[in-house]
Amino acid sequence: MSAVAPLVHHCTRTEYEHMVESGVFAPGTRIELLDGEIIAMSPQGSQHVTATQLVAEALRERLPAGYLVRVQAPIALDDRSEPEPDICVVRGKVRDYARSHPSAALLVIEVSDSSLEQDRTVKARAYARNGIPEYWVVNVKERVIEVYTNPRAGGYGQVQVLRELEDIAAESIAGVRMAVADVLP
């Protein structure tokens, strides 16, 4: 997502969901609600899609039973934010979320090429504020993964940058470990 003007200011999650369900936005319109603003999301380039699929596949291979990998699906954080992270890991099964989006996740991952600044700031603050214990930014351009942990009201207290020759392990989910190079396009 590049820096674009919000489509709507000061919108609650309930109002946003009503607009989506009412067909206010054309089918296939890529939008998300962040801090009360409906934001248009950028089209996905091939590196973005490839990295998203590589990360999702690696997680599915490593997660124990009882966890679900959601790809580009909403998470209902609070009354002002319903982002659609590239990947999030939640407890449960697919049908557990048939009537409502999850409101918590163990791990949220954004794949970033054109949206790096937004992912490091606005999204990081929203995820931290809502207690997401671990947030990764797969920085495609710099070929690194930024790992954000220790959530606080204003953001994450700890940030670690892992390079291609290193491994990444999910702190919030035991047994999830992979090579950084394996999930970069």
Q: What pLDDT is attached to residue 115?
A: 87
Rounded distance, CA 4 to CA 31, Å?
Answer: 11
Which of 22-36, 61-75, 132-146, 147-161 is least confident? 22-36
**Which of 53, 51, 48, 83 has its CA nearest to residue 69?**
53
CA distances from 128 to 8, 47, 65, 94, 166 (A): 23, 27, 26, 25, 25
Count the neighbouring beta carbons within 10 Å of the beta carbon of residue 36: 18
CA distance 107 to 15: 27
State pLDDT tens for residues 54-84.
999 999 999 999 999 999 999 999 999 999 9
pTM given for the model: 0.90
Instruction: Express as a percent the part of the chain with pLDDT over 90.
Output: 72
Domain assignments of the chain as residue spans, ordered by start: 43-183
Name the H helices within 137-181: none
Please give the single-letter amino acid code of residue 172: S
Does 4 have pLDDT greater than 70? no
Architecture of the 43-183 domain: Alpha-Beta Complex (3.90)
